[in-house]
Amino acid sequence: MLTLVGFSAARAEGIAAENGDCGNDETAIATDRPDVTNSSLVVPRGSVQVENGINWTTRQSATMIDGSNSRLRFGVVRCTEILFDLPDYFHSLRGRASTGLSDFSPAIKRQFGRLPGDIEFSATVGLELPTGTTRIAGAGYGAYVQFPWSKEIGDGWGISGMFTAFWIPGEPASNPTLEPTFAIERQVGSRADFFVEYVADHPRRGVSSQVFDSGGAYRITRTQQIDVRAGVGLNRAAPDYLFGLGYSFRFDHAF
């Protein structure tokens, strides 16, 4: 899978460079949060981006809080980044929910430039290393592949989405679990944007979950952002409610 993405990235490198679609240090920060749909853009070459958040999730049987939900992104070469999801700590506030850490997860992301129809498209391949608490992260290794995309419609409106296939540790009956998302976005002024989003998780066996998500982000500066999200489950398999807050920042010319 990594070889396939790498080969496709090499073929697309010339197109992306010619179109100038990959960001630079003059580009405003673009994060993979607060919505589930990740940005279709990579961080500029030589930049380090740190994304953090805290989430509150409630179900009928339990209430959980988790943080710091941190993702480190490094722009290693033009149109390509490596990223690391650090272990996230989950704590039960109510009910029978497990407490502990998620896995450490490295990944590589490639932006393919602008496709026909003015669609920004990228691909990410990641691993989940068995470093977390088994009752939280599962036993063994996991993996995922993601394809985020976005398109500007005009007058500040845009649409985006992502298709993900997860191989969840210790869940062979569910693998692969497929997750499509679709979001409608609206930019307000030069610093703020809002979104509404639909997220569904479809395990190979078992009940699918569906969530309606919403939120927004505000760029304090060109390289700093605060964000908020709120969502509601659409069926019994999904969380009843979720709420999140985040802060992200970027260092340019870091290496």
Are 16 and 112 in contact by the 8 Å Cβ rule? The answer is: yes
Model confidence pLDDT, tens digit, residues 115-138:
888 999 999 999 999 999 999 999
Q: Rounded to the nearest 5 degrees, what angle is found at the Cα of 101, between the Cα atoms of 95 and 106?
A: 140
Distances (CA, A) of 130 to 69, 101, 147, 186: 17, 11, 24, 39
Per-residue pLDDT, averaged over 141-149, amounts to: 98
Model confidence pLDDT, tens digit, residues 185-195:
999 999 999 99
pLDDT(109) > 80:
yes
Model confidence pLDDT, tens digit, residues 146-171:
999 999 999 999 999 999 999 999 88
Q: Which domains does the chain have, with CATH numbers?
A: 2-251 (2.40.160.40)
Q: Rounded to the nearest 5 degrees, what angle is found at the Cα of 186, between the Cα atoms of 112 and 31?
A: 45
Q: How far apart are CA 25 and CA 81, in angstroms?
A: 14
Are 49 and 247 in contact by the 8 Å Cβ rule? The answer is: no
Percent of residues, the chain, with pLDDT higher than 70: 92
In the chain the first and final C-alpha atoms are separated, in Å, by 29
pLDDT tier for residue 21 given thresholds of 50, 70 and 90: low
pLDDT of residue 1: 47
pTM for the predicted model, two decimal places: 0.90
